Amino acid sequence: MKKAAAWLAIGLVSSPIGVAPMPGLAQGATPLPARENPIKPEKNPPGDIPDNQVFIDYQSPLGFTIKVPEGWARREASDSVVFSDKYNTIELTVAQRAGSIDLNNVKQKEVADLERSGKAVRVSSVKPTSLPSGSAIVVSYGSNSEPNAVTNKAVRLENERYFFWKDGKLVTLTLSAPFGADNADQWLLMAKSFRWR
């Protein structure tokens, strides 16, 4: 009897005679990892972009230009670029997409992917917007950050993700900062500065 209890305790599916497999698990399946919980926002979050921040034009070889804060670290890859300063990030990724985007397909695909793959993602709104570069869809959501490489501390973030589409190309712009930081004007400045090349 002790042996049967031990087998149950460690959750093995192939069980000794007389001991049923764990309920809810198919033969050979592994349990899903526990879902991450949202981190409590900080009372005085760091991350405000100063009102006197200088913005410069970034011309990407991926086919767009955008204004970004001067002096932020930049990391480029074959399909993306990330600008960062502490917990603040600006990320642009480029992908091929045959069909144009609209509110419904962003909700069905992009938002679903974000909620599935993000860290404690909570979407607050999905809406169309009109910008100088054309129409776009913007998703506002909260998420947990990756742990800081030095302190191992994670914080609660607020994010705005813009989807721009033109001629089979989708550019995703994600603006992130600690939850409660006052960056609305600066984020809008950057979103409005986006241009196709």
What totals of helices (H) and strands (E) does the chain contain, helices first?
Answer: 4, 10
Place of tokens 């890859």: 77
Please report the pLDDT score of residue 34 as a whole number. Answer: 55
Alpha carbon of 100 to those of 62, 112, 151, 164: distances in Å? 18, 17, 42, 9
pLDDT at 133 over 90: yes
Angstrom distance (rounded) from CA 8 to CA 139 = 44
Relative to beta strand 80-85, strand 88-96 is antiparallel
Selection from 86, 63, 66, 62 nearest residue 76 by Cα: 62
Please report the pLDDT score of residue 149 as a whole number. Answer: 80
Q: Count the Cβ atoms, other than its own, within 10 Å of residue 80.
A: 16
Please report, for the chain, the start and end positions of each structural domain, with discontinuous segments joined by +: 1-32, 55-196
Please report the pLDDT score of residue 150 as a whole number. Answer: 85
pLDDT at 167 over 70: yes
pTM: 0.80
Burial of 38 (0-12, 13-18, 19+ CB in 10 A): middle
Q: Count the Cβ atoms, other than its own, within 10 Å of residue 114.
A: 18
Q: List the CATH code of the domain at 55-196.
A: 3.40.1000.10
Q: How many percent of the chain have pLDDT more than 90? A: 68
The helix (run of H) or strand (run of E) holding residue 112 is helix 112-117
Please report the pLDDT score of residue 185 as a whole number. Answer: 95
Pair 195, 65: CB distance under 8 Å: yes
Instruction: Give me the chain's average pLDDT, please.
Output: 84
Angstrom distance (rounded) from CA 196 to CA 133 = 7
What integer is the mean pLDDT of 37-65? Answer: 88
Q: Token pair of 2, please?
A: 């002790």
What integer is the mean pLDDT of 76-101? Answer: 95
Pair 137, 172: CB distance under 8 Å: no
